[in-house]
Amino acid sequence: MRIIDLPADRHDEVVELWRVSNLLAPWNDPYADIRMAMDNPTSTVLVGLDGNDIIASAMVGYEGHRGWVFYVAVDPGRRGRGLGEEIMDAAFDWLENLGAVKMQLLIRQGNEGVQAFYERIGFRVEPVIMMSKRIRPPANEL
């Protein structure tokens, strides 16, 4: 798998990967999420290619201390072959190069099964409560 930054003309394809991977949520506009990630020098969307097909993704962002990963997905027909680990390794390297001290991610309620994948590749559960406050309304309330 060859890993590159998402090309500007291929947003639809990665959104389709996220759709079939159940990663789309009504409160997020995936196209706006991509634009924000691609327009900022401390974030990007990494995609894995098989030939010219987009088969994996990971959005990465560095907030000045920690690194975050979102939209981790592998094409459903190609799972279980190490590609998830490979795209996460690329995300790790990307964040390490920017100087991030830790790589973090969130797992949605209902998708707890994926915790075993992350534990297998070296992540651990943190003893924290995640809290948030809206600055802009969610996409489905605009």
Ligand X SMILES: CC(C)(COP(=O)(O)OP(=O)(O)OC[C@H]1O[C@@H](n2cnc3c(N)ncnc32)[C@H](O)[C@@H]1OP(=O)(O)O)[C@@H](O)C(=O)NCCC(=O)NCCS
Residue 87, CB half-sphere, CA atoms under 13 Å: how many?
A: 33
Q: Which of 4, 85, 104, 123 is in the footprint of ligand X by CB under 6 A?
A: 85
Least distance from ligand X to the Cβ atom of residue 120, Å = 4
Query: Is residue 32 helix, strand or coil?
Result: helix
Q: Which of 14, 72, 95, 100 is in the footprint of ligand X by CB under 6 A?
A: 72
Question: Interface with ligand X includes 19 (CB under 6 A)?
Answer: no
Q: Which is nearer to ligand X, 62 or 84 (CB)?
A: 84
Q: Which is nearer to ligand X, 90 or 100 (CB)?
A: 90
Least distance from ligand X to the Cβ atom of residue 118, Å = 8
DSSP 60-107: EEE-SS-EEEEEEEE-GGGTTSSHHHHHHHHHHHHHHHHT-S-EEE--
Report the C-alpha dihedral over residues 69, 49, 82, 110, rounded to 10 degrees. Answer: 40
Q: Rule CB under 6 A: which residues touch ligand X?
A: 21, 23, 72-74, 79-85, 105, 107, 111, 113-114, 116-117, 120-121
